[in-house]
Amino acid sequence: MWHKLLMVGVLASSAGACCAQAQTRMPDMQLAGVVPRNSAEQFELAFWESIKDSTHVSDYEAYLKAYPKGRFAALAQARIARLRAAAPGAVAAPPRVKEAPARPAPTTATAAAPAAVPARTAPAKAGAEIKDCPACPLLVSLPAGSFTMGNNASDPSETPAHPVTIGAPFAIGKTEVTVQQWNACVTARACPAVAQPAGTTATAPVRDVSWDDAQQYVKWLATASGKPYRLPTEAEWEFAARGGTATAYWWGAQMQTGKANCKECGQPWSDAAPASVGSYPANPYGLHDTSGSVWEWVSDCWHNNYKDAPADGRAWDGPNCRVRVIRGGSWREGSAYMVTSTRFKYDASVRQLQNGFRVARSLR
């Protein structure tokens, strides 16, 4: 039944000449390609494509919250009713939103360093590990340095590739913030309690947290440690994630299995949850899970591309900004999202099951 309802929504938004073709290939259809890129319709279609096979009531509730009169609203309501009937004792999780863009599979061109700007890497290796307080995440100190941010052969939002200079050393989380570390803030009554799925371990990355939630955490961490904790800027995040490399992935020009926690990155992998932090190899700077695991909030406001982006590594903010950048992909994404330049956006107040973060602080 839901396949038929989905077909109605797709046909309603497509030209009549496309109907027969859409009907024959609907189950594998890439919905984001039906409408103009970065349009409101594209985001709705990409959202639905990302949840249409979900077994979680909250995913469909999130769709209805974002698109109460959307083209798949009736189907979402039907799915909710069916799932609740199958599990009458289940309690729905807080609403969450997923807006994943369609992303082309990596190609040889994508794997190469951007040709328009000479690749420049950091001149020094990562430094010491830092532990500022018992509850603080372990940090790795990184040197100042220059690199090429973005990718001219990938998603348009990653263009233009441009030189960035990080003028001062800084420290960034060796891993994403864990459930245990988040709960220390909850115990201190400085962070909201965010329910994690059943079976989540203390060493799993905390997820379903918003940008606003992450801001509460870094504020508490700064008070607890006496150090200037914050979210990394987008430029700092990519500088750290590249680990001094200039290739599409921190491990090289081509995708390799066993390097990241994603659905096409090799076993072990589970659709239900990401692995514990640090389960996969670290990049050359000693940082784990910069590709896959959970999407990571950074401090910057979302811009559709890097035109006029700052070249000094500072956060690129904006007035009354409510849409913030997330980086790195998640365990539910495929290998195309593991490219180090991958970026997307979320409303700062929205909690989503695939979103987490890592912390940073200045060293001066």
- The answer to whether position 285 is within a domain reads yes
* Distance between CA atoms of residues 111 and 124, nearest Å: 24
- Digit-by-digit pLDDT tens for the chain (364 residues) are 333 333 333 333 333 333 333 333 333 333 333 344 445 666 677 677 767 777 777 778 777 877 888 888 888 888 888 787 776 443 333 333 334 555 654 443 333 333 334 344 434 467 899 999 999 999 999 999 999 999 999 899 999 999 999 999 999 999 999 999 999 999 999 999 999 999 999 999 999 999 999 999 999 999 999 999 999 999 999 999 999 999 999 999 999 999 999 999 988 889 899 999 999 999 999 999 999 999 999 999 999 999 999 999 999 998 899 999 999 999 999 999 999 999 999 999 999 999 999 999 999 7
CA angle in degrees (0–180, nearest 5) for 272-274-276:
130
- Both 197 and 283 in one domain: the answer is yes
DSSP code at position 338: G
- The answer to whether position 180 is within a domain reads yes
- The answer to whether position 326 is within a domain reads yes
The number of domains in the chain is 2
- Both 183 and 291 in one domain: the answer is yes
What CATH number is attached to the domain comprising 181?
3.90.1580.10
- The answer to whether position 289 is within a domain reads yes
Q: Tell me whether strands 170-173 and 162-166 are parallel, antiparallel or unpaired.
A: unpaired
- Both 116 and 80 in one domain: the answer is no
- The answer to whether position 94 is within a domain reads no
**Peptide bond preceding 106: is omega within 30 degrees of 0, i.e. cis?**
no
- Both 358 and 236 in one domain: the answer is yes
Which domain range does residue 62 map to?
A: 2-86
- Both 141 and 18 in one domain: the answer is no
Question: Helical H runs in 243-359?
Answer: none
What residue has token string 């900004």? 321
- The answer to whether position 165 is within a domain reads yes
- Both 65 and 133 in one domain: the answer is no
Helix (H, G, I), strand (E, B) or coil at 175: coil
Q: Are 271 and 332 in contact (CB under 8 A)?
A: yes
- Both 49 and 193 in one domain: the answer is no
- Both 145 and 54 in one domain: the answer is no
- Both 264 and 342 in one domain: the answer is yes
Alpha carbon separation from 179 to 136, 172, 205, 346 (Å, rounded): 12, 18, 6, 21
- The answer to whether position 119 is within a domain reads yes
- Both 108 and 65 in one domain: the answer is no
Domain boundary among 23, 57, 86: 86
- Both 81 and 160 in one domain: the answer is no
What residue has token string 């307080």? 133
- Both 16 and 128 in one domain: the answer is no
Domain boundary among 59, 86, 113: 86
